[in-house]
Amino acid sequence: MSELYWKPAHELAAMIRNRDIKASELMEATIRRIEQTNPKLNAFVALRADDALADARALDARIARREDVGPLAGLPLGVKDLEDAAGLVTTFGCKPFKNNLAKSDSIQVERLKAAGAIVIGKTNAPEWGYTAHTKNLLFGVTRNPWNLERTPGGSSGGSSAAISGGVVPIVTGSDGGGSVRIPACFTGCFGLKTSYGRIPHNMALGMQQWNDTSVHGPITRTVRDAAIFMDAVVGYHPHDQDSLPHPGISYLATLDQLPKKLRIAFHPDFGQLVQRDVAREIQKAAAVFKDLGHDVTTIDDPVPDTGRAWMQVGATQGYASQYEYFEKYHDDFGRAYIAGTEGATRVTWKHYGAAYRRRHEFNQWCQRVFERFDLLLCPVLPIEAFPAKGPMPTEINGQPLKDALGAVVFTYPFNLSGHPGASVRAGLTDAGLPCGLQIVAERHRDDLVLQASHAYEQARPWNNKWPNI
């Protein structure tokens, strides 16, 4: 069964539908794989192995009756521990929520299950998705399959470790500042930050969210897998007043329809420090689009600094949703998370206004870019994966960073602007670790991001090289 571990999700689902393999056989192999790898990776923090196997056997029976079992037929699904899967605890990586049993599925999980996926368990995440590496006081540190001493990123680190480690074929992720793209970059996967509202939200702790920076998105082995995932989960849901109508297309059906002769901007650094071997691989990756016949122009337009604005906008909602728990269980929260989130109490309307002015300034920058170009290329991250326990680096190429956010400076701006963006594997650093090229398009053009990512993947396939753990 070992040849199944790194197969793309779409191939496995086709094998199940065609009865080349039973869903129960794949589930049994997946359970063994989790048992084999989890002591090293710590990708999964909760399992429903017996129930998942029973679900897989029931799906086998449906296939035997020639029933339609969906495009994700029988695929074992890992659910990031920031969203609900019925019958499993949603801890948010946080001790006060260690007994927070979910009674129902999130909208995303519900739709994935309707498409045939079977929840196998929950994947690890940092406390409330707060950091770019995955560790918490409940479950400890998650590690990168490419190098167990390094992080798989965060906050969807358990999910990315499970995909790149050949543990499961499909996972959920979410991205409020890079939490899909960062782990996808560090582990050599494909990761898509969707347009805001494209995949409906559930409201955390029963509070209507006002912060429009966090989205759901897939982390997969291939772009085709992500397109199938998207087809299963997009579309309006009345629970989420900000959810977008269905786009009216199939992302899978349009995957090969990338327009010819696109105008593409390549910004190599946003005026920030980039690790030398990362910069080298990003440059080579961007050049692929020129080889594909597109017009690629290197730009150096000054990019507004949105780090402080992003932190202030995000922290306020986190504190608003959790302040009662801070008061009751204060010492059970991680110290770094408390310090960052309680900092929201010092954010005044004056600060909030300044943050939104800076946000508008960056939006104007994006507007000018997309008036001239169809796509924007840039690094996903300026660094390779740092130590699994952290902290993030404070210098690059021997030069000190202006602030801590310099290590993730290319991801969070597009959470503020709402543009869809993807991480594709650009290459490997001198240490043999993946780095990523970011592909960004105008708002709501998730289809164009997927098409461009797929064309790049065909030119420079990465699915034939994964780490051996």
* Residues whose CB is less than 8 angstroms from the CB of residue 86 and which lie 6 or more positions away in sequence, other chains included: 102, 103, 104, 105
Percent of the chain with pLDDT over 90: 94
Question: How many Å apart are CA 130 and CA 193, to the nearest integer?
Answer: 17
Q: From the CA atom positions of the chain, what is the Rg in Å?
A: 21
Q: Are the CB atoms for 192 and 414 separated by under 8 Å?
A: no
CB within 8 Å of 70: residues ≥ 6 apart: 114, 115, 116, 117, 232
The pLDDT of residue 1: 56
**183: closest CA among 385, 331, 364?**
385
pLDDT of residue 203: 83
Q: Which two tokens stand for residue 97?
A: 């929520």
CA distances in angstroms from 371 to 156, 363, 443, listed in the order given? 33, 12, 12
Q: What is the set of domains in the chain, with CATH numbers? A: 2-459 (3.90.1300.10)
pTM > 0.85:
yes
Residue with tokens 């017009």: 295
Query: Measured between alpha carbons, how far is 70 from 328 in angstroms, rounded to an integer?
Result: 45
pLDDT at 3: 82
What is the pLDDT of the chain when averaged over all its residues? 97
Provide the residue-wise pLDDT of the chain in tens; the chain has 469 residues. Answer: 568 999 999 999 999 999 999 999 999 999 999 999 999 999 999 999 999 999 999 999 999 999 999 999 999 999 999 999 999 999 999 999 999 999 999 999 999 999 999 999 999 999 999 999 999 999 999 999 999 999 999 999 999 999 999 999 999 999 999 999 999 999 999 999 999 999 999 988 888 888 899 999 999 999 999 999 999 999 999 999 999 999 999 999 999 999 999 999 999 999 999 999 999 999 999 999 999 999 999 999 999 999 999 999 888 988 999 999 999 999 999 998 999 899 999 999 999 999 999 999 999 999 999 999 999 999 999 999 999 999 999 999 999 999 999 999 999 999 999 999 999 999 999 999 999 999 999 999 999 999 999 999 999 999 999 999 8
The closest alpha carbon to 218, from 108, 125, 124, 126, belongs to: 108
Handedness of CA 348, 353, 355, 356 (dihedral sign): positive
pLDDT at 8: 97
Q: Which residues are catalytic?
A: 80, 155, 179
Longest dimension (CA), the chain: 64
Sign of CA dihedral 227, 210, 306, 389: negative
Peptide bond into 195 cis (omega under 30): no
pLDDT of residue 27: 98
Q: What letter represents residue 65's amino acid?
A: R
32-53 tens-digit pLDDT: 999 999 999 999 999 999 999 9
Rounded to whole angstroms, how far apart are CA atoms 24 and 59?
Answer: 8
CA dihedral 125, 129, 130, 136 (to 10 degrees): -20
d(CA 267, CA 269): 6
